[in-house]
Amino acid sequence: MPLANALVEPADLDRAAATYPLQLVFCRVCSLVQITETVPPELLFRDYLYFSSFSGVLVEHGRNSARTIIAERQLGSDSLVIEIASNDGYLLRHFVAAGIPVLGIEPARNIAAVARSHGIETIEEFFGVALASQLVAAGRRADVMLANNVMAHVPDINGVLTGIRMVLQPDGVFVMETPYLKTLIDELQFDTIYHEHLFYYSMTALERLLQRNGLAAAAVELVPIHGQSLRVSVVHAGREGARPTVAALLAEERGWGVDDFAFYESFGRRVEDLRHRLRALLIDWQRQGKRLAAYGAAAKATTLLNFMQIDTTMLEFVVDRSPYKQGRFVPGVNVPIVPPERLLESMPDGVLLLTWNWAAEIMAQQQEFIRRGGRFIIPVPDPAVIPASAEPVEPAIPMPARS
């Protein structure tokens, strides 16, 4: 597979995209699910095209999370919040607005520059033991550390957790969010598998990982962001106390076979079946003379389009709100990326919704397209066509199960 965010410049269209193996494996010892190929982080993340602030849902999620953490931890002007992979500051800016000192750590230079333009102090570096040592030496210990949708990305996960243990105040808390493995398997979210995502976590695998690095999960909950994610509150080992939510989820995972390879082995077959069904649907539309486009040049789009061999013979274009992506092409399939306004200008009959995790938000934005008769195709977990309607569409969207 090509690298998910290696969007192609027009001048490079004649060059074949670099590809790397994409294979998912299961560890029988610690139950961690991961891919086998580690692409150097310098190649993946130094110049990055994912800006969190382009999702209104994600910004609102960050605002609500910040409010909750500020209240629960009673943070003030003498506190310090540090976020690993802070992106464009979409989350930290809510702490700044409350008068709480923050520090962002973001290795993507282009994105770090945007964060600083919003008043977020940001270090352009990968977090690990080396950077943690520098922060401790400078007297910068965190009352709260955050890592949202990043723990899957870091090859040296043990080094990152060791660094967190070093920087976190004795009574501090590390709050992490990461997509939940069980939902990925159940809902066939295969397109979230790409080279940036090395690890796919259950609570069981996280528990063993934290214990190995002198940390402990004090609480856990499932939140709907990114298809469904674990939100885990982590403290220094020995401070976790009673933790009923963690115990309950660990017991639930034992029940569905988190340590048993049999739970996972049908996943590939089910994804292959999905490929046949979705391609059949799109081919049938083509035979009827219907025009197709897509929405969302996200990382998952690269996986889905390349695996399903959906290219410019099927799609005219992909629309995306990010101006950083517009004018480029999806790697491997070379589908052009254009602004969302193209939908109303061109009025394709159907739009393959590649960013299905933001379905409600996108369809709310595209009411005029729907009013004019446009239809959306949701690819996972079961291909579904959202019929044209002038009515509010959110209740009709077949979203992944939430539990």
- CATH code: domain of residue 39: 3.40.50.150
Residue finishing a domain among 230, 263, 296: 263
Q: Which of the 8 DSSP states describes residue 151?
A: T
d(CA 398, CA 379): 10
Please tell me the predicted confidence (pLDDT) of residue 44: 76
Q: Which of the 8 DSSP states describes residue 95?
A: H
Please tell me the predicted confidence (pLDDT) of residue 347: 97
Contact 168, 123 (CB under 8 A): no
Does residue 4 lie in a domain region? no
Check whether residue 197 and residue 335 sit in a common domain. Answer: no
Q: CB 289: neighbour CB atoms within 10 A?
A: 7
Domains in the chain: how many in total? 2
Check whether residue 212 and residue 277 sit in a common domain. Answer: no
Check whether residue 96 and residue 234 sit in a common domain. Answer: yes
Does residue 108 lie in a domain region? yes
Check whether residue 293 and residue 384 sit in a common domain. Answer: yes
List phi, psi (to 5°) of 397.
-80, 125
Check whether residue 206 and residue 272 sit in a common domain. Answer: no
Check whether residue 46 and residue 126 sit in a common domain. Answer: yes
d(CA 224, CA 342): 30
Q: Give exposure, 188-218, as e/b (b: 16+ Cβ within 10 Å).
A: bbbbbbbbbbbbbbbbbbbbebbeebebbbb
Check whether residue 250 and residue 271 sit in a common domain. Answer: no
Please tell me the predicted confidence (pLDDT) of residue 349: 97
Check whether residue 253 and residue 309 sit in a common domain. Answer: no
Check whether residue 275 and residue 250 sit in a common domain. Answer: no
Does residue 155 lie in a domain region? yes
**Which residue is associated with the tokens 């977090």?**
127
Does residue 24 lie in a domain region? no
Residue finishing a domain among 263, 287, 322: 263
Render pLDDT for 183-238 as a digit per residue (tens, 0 to 9). 999 999 999 999 999 999 999 999 999 999 999 999 999 998 777 999 999 999 99
- CATH code: domain of residue 291: 3.40.50.720
Which whole-number Å values give the CA distances from 396 to 351, 399, 400, in the listed order? 16, 9, 12
Domain of 258? Answer: 31-263
Helix, strand, or coil (residue 73)? helix
Residue finishing a domain among 195, 230, 263: 263
Does residue 298 lie in a domain region? yes
32 Cβ contact partners less than 8 Å away, ≥ 6 residues apart:
26, 199, 200, 201, 205, 208, 209
Exposed / middle / buried, residue 121 (Cβ in 10 Å: 0-12, 13-18, 19+): middle
Please tell me the predicted confidence (pLDDT) of residue 389: 42
Which residue, among 212, 219, 191, has the nearest Cα to 356 in the 3D structure? 191
- Cα 132–47–158 angle (5° rounding)? 30
Check whether residue 246 and residue 287 sit in a common domain. Answer: no
Please tell me the predicted confidence (pLDDT) of residue 40: 84
Q: From the CA atom positions of the chain, what is the Rg in Å?
A: 21
Please identify every stretch of the chain with a pLDDT value under 50, giving residue numbers as ranges.
Answer: 388-403
Does residue 81 lie in a domain region? yes
Check whether residue 242 and residue 283 sit in a common domain. Answer: no
Does residue 348 lie in a domain region? yes
Does residue 20 lie in a domain region? no
Check whether residue 91 and residue 240 sit in a common domain. Answer: yes
And the tokens for 147? 């890592």
**Which residue is associated with the tokens 């076979």?**
257
